[in-house]
């Protein structure tokens, strides 16, 4: 019985996809989640995959190849979580899933493009 519980716990732990930095994603040999911000749009490649440059809080950057069409709310995103694996041969992060972080409805953009939290009275 104890062996079954241990096996189940290990199997569950192996299915979790950890959040890592861009530097850690480059070193990982498994699927990971990387949070970052859009630096540059590269457009579609020859295979129809969407490409862009992601930058993290450490100012590290990498090219992400998303295997699906660009999400509809891509331009309004305040950040992204790319889920996939780093391809060291092509030097790109191959994302099979992309979570688009939408700006909070409690934030508003100033004319200069900066975002500030709205204060409720």
Judge whether residue 8 has pLDDT over 60.
no
pTM above 0.75, yes or no: no
CATH code of 38's domain: 2.40.50.140
Task: Give me the pLDDT at residue 2, please.
Answer: 52
Do the domain assignments include residue 87?
yes
Segments forming the whole domain that contains residue 50: 19-103
In a domain, 121, yes or no: no
Q: Residues 3, 10: contact at Cβ < 8 Å?
A: no
For residue 28, what pLDDT band results from cuts at 50, 70 and 90? very high
Residue 117, both tokens: 């939290």
Task: Identify which of 52, 79, 50, 55 has the alpha carbon closest to the alpha carbon of residue 66.
Answer: 50
Domain-embedded: residue 110 = no
Task: Dihedral sign for Cα 58, 62, 67, 70, please.
Answer: positive
Mean pLDDT of the chain: 80
Residue 119 forms part of a structural domain: no
- The structure tokens 């450490």 sit at 58
Q: Which residue has the higher pLDDT, 11 or 105?
A: 105
Residue % of the chain over a pLDDT of 90: 58
- What's the number of domains the chain is made of? 1
pLDDT, one tens digit per residue, over 34-72 is 999 999 999 999 999 999 999 999 999 999 999 888 988
Residue 44 resides in a domain: yes
């Amino acid at each position: 019985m104890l062996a079954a519980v241990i096996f189940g716990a290990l199997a569950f732990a192996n299915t979790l996809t950890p959040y890592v930095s861009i530097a850690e994603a480059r070193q990982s040999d498994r699927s990971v989640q990387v949070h970052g911000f859009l630096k540059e749009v590269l457009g579609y490649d020859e295979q129809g995959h969407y490409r862009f440059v992601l930058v993290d809080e450490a100012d590290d950057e990498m090219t992400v190849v998303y295997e699906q069409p660009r999400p509809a709310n891509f331009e309004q995103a305040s950040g992204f979580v790319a889920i996939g694996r780093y391809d060291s041969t092509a030097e790109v992060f191959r994302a099979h899933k992309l979570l688009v972080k939408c700006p909070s409805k409690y934030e508003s953009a100033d004319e200069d493009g900066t975002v500030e939290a709205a204060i409720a009275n």
